[in-house]
Amino acid sequence: MDAEQRSLRLVEGYKVILASNSPRRKELLGGLGIDFEVRTLQGIDESYPGNLKGEEIPVYISGKKAEAYLSTIAEDEMVITADTIVYDAGQVLGKPANREDAINMLRQLSGHAHDVITGVSIVTKQKTVQFASVSKVHFTTLTDEEITYYVDHFKPFDKAGAYGIQEWIGYVAVTRIEGSYFNVMGLPIQRLYTELKKFENT
């Protein structure tokens, strides 16, 4: 059995819904050969309790996203939600509010390692599975000229931590990654594949 046939059978009996407009997540999930549709809801509250730390935060947020969809899905539908954060020295770096915020985030990340954490929820009417994936990304020291060039040319305002690893900054700043590259893009696709394989058997 080839990989495409195997991946198509992973979710046999379910219509898969990706609850994200992210082009990167759509590309990554599509790479598994699974048929899916994109469905999004507006106005989901993505706040979280202040006592949560690290992996707990994106798992909690992905769970809130999944809960919002639960009442809208049919018995034969499966929703995949995800949330990605950049976590640096105990501080969450989300999507930058503006140009200045993006520049400040990249100045903070310059010259040391940070964690990129994605929380994923897989939800049907009958079952919920949640997990987190952590990748440690090492940045070289960036000049202000390099930081402003990236922000002005690539406008990373829709990206946690104000950068996309698949863009120019990934070429010039990232010296090493510990963990999944695709997790840094926004979806830990190998782990998701593994969890989908287990889903029907548990």
Q: Which domains are assigned to the chain?
A: 3-199 (3.90.950.10)
Choosing from 2, 45, 76, 83, the catalytic residue is 83
Percent of the chain at pLDDT > 90 equals 86
Average of per-residue pLDDT across 70-82? 95
Q: What would the mean pLDDT of 135-161 be, rounded to a whole number?
A: 97
Strand, coil or helix: what is 162? helix
- Is residue 37 over pLDDT 90? yes
Q: Quick count: other Cβ atoms within 10 Å of Cβ 159?
A: 24
7 versus 185: the higher-pLDDT residue is 185
Per-residue pLDDT at 199: 85
- The reported pLDDT for the residue numbered 202 is 57
pLDDT category at 110 given cuts 50, 70, 90 is: very high
Global pTM value: 0.91
- Reported confidence tier of residue 75, pLDDT bands at 50, 70, 90: very high
Task: Characterize 42-74 residue by residue with b for buried, 16 or more Cβ atoms within 10 angstroms of its Cβ, and e for exposed.
Answer: eeeeeebeeeeeebebbbbbbbbbbebbeeebe
DSSP-H helix ranges across the chain: 3-9, 23-30, 56-70, 99-109, 144-154, 168-173, 181-185, 189-199
- 83 flagged as catalytic: yes
Of 38, 56, 40, the residue nearest 48 (C-alpha): 56
The three-class DSSP label of residue 33 is coil
- pLDDT value at residue 2: 47
Number of neighbours of residue 197 by Cβ within 10 angstroms: 14
- Across the chain, mean pLDDT equals 93
Q: What angle do CA 109, 56, 202 make, to 5 degrees?
A: 130
Quick one: pLDDT at residue 201?
59
Indicate the residue type of 6: R
For residue 5, is pLDDT > 80?
A: no
**Average pLDDT in the 111-133 region?**
97
Q: What is the DSSP letter of 11?
A: T
Nearest to 28 by CA among 169, 198, 186: 186
Asked whether the predicted pLDDT for residue 1 surpasses 70, the reply is no
